[in-house]
Amino acid sequence: MSEEVLTSEEDGILVVTINRPEAKNAMTKAAAEGIAAAMDRLDSDDSLRVGILTGAGGTFCSGMDLKGFLRGESPSIEGRGFGGIVQKPPEKPLIAAVEGYALAGGLELMIACDLVVANAGAKFGIPEVKRGLVAAAGGVMMLPDQIPERIAMELALTGDFIDAARAYELGLINRVTESGALAGAKELAASIVANGPLAVRVSKQVIKQSRGWPMEERYTRQTQLIAPVFISEDAREGAAAFAEKRKPNWKGK
C-alpha cells in the first residue's frame, strides 16, 4: 500500500485516508493505486463491512495533481478510473468523510461513494473549466444523476463552489456535522455494520443497478438478486433475534 494512502480498521469499518496533506490531497497515480488496493481489501475481507474514504490534514481531495498531469501522469487505474474507484466502486458501502475541499476529481471521488458526511465548512465544486479542462471523471456525467440537471450544469459551466449547507439542501450529501466529518462517518458506518451484510450488499446493488433496468423488467431482475437473501442463514437469524429480543449474530451467509 502506498504511503500516500493510509488504512486502519475498527469494528468492521475500513478507514482509507488520502495522505498528501502538503498538496491538499491532490490525486496521483500512487494514491489511486493505494485506494484501489484498499477497495479490493474491503470487498475481499469478510470482517470488513463498510469503508470510509477521507483525506488527511483538513482537506478531502483537491482533484488531480496538476504537476503530475504536466509530467504526463494519469491518476487513474485501468478499468477503475480516476482515484481507483470512479468507474468501479466497491461492492460494499463506501462513505465519504469530507473536510475542507472536495473539488474537481475530489468531488468525483466523493460522488462515487454511496454516502457523504461533511463538515459544515466544506466546499464542493467541479472547477475544471477554469483551467480549460472538463470534469471527465464522472463530474459532468454522474453529478446530474445526483442533483437537479440545471444545478449540475451551473456548477460545470461556471466552475463555482457550493458550501455544505447548499450541498445538503440539494441532496448531494447525507449529513452535515459541526465537528469532525470522520467521526460522523464512523457513526453512520456503525449503523450499517449493525445490519445483515448480505442484505446491505444486495440493497446497494439493486439501488445502483435498477436505474438502468427497463421498467417492465425491474421486479424480475430484483427477484433474481434478492432471492438468495431471503433463504440465507442471516435472514433466519434476523427473524430469530427479533423474536428473542437480542442482537443478531450475522454470518454473512
Distance of CA 235 to the CA centre of its chain: 27
Strands (E), 149-242: 162-163, 175-177
Beta bridge partners of 64: 27
Q: Which of 128, 169, 187, 217 is catalytic?
A: 128
- Amino acid present at 47: S
Is 3 annotated in the active site?
no
Counting other chains too, the contacts that 119-123 makes at CB distance below 8 Å and 24 or more residues apart are 119/164, 119/176, 119/177, 119/178, 119/179, 119/180, 119/181, 120/164, 120/165, 120/176, 120/177, 120/178, 121/163, 121/164, 122/60, 122/98, 122/163, 122/164, 122/167, 122/181, 123/161, 123/162, 123/163, 123/164
For 58: left if phi > 0, alpha if psi spans -120 to 50, otherwise beta; the answer is left
- What is the rounded distance in angstroms from the CA atom of residue 90 to the CA atom of residue 201? 10
Going from the C-alpha of 103 to that of each of 19, 37, 63, 98, 167, the distances in angstroms are 16, 23, 6, 11, 13
Residue 145, C-beta contacts closer than 8 angstroms, at least 6 positions apart: 211
Active-site entry in 108, 149, 237, 244: 108
Residue type, 127: P
Residue 128 annotated as catalytic: yes
**Catalytic (active-site) positions:** 108, 128
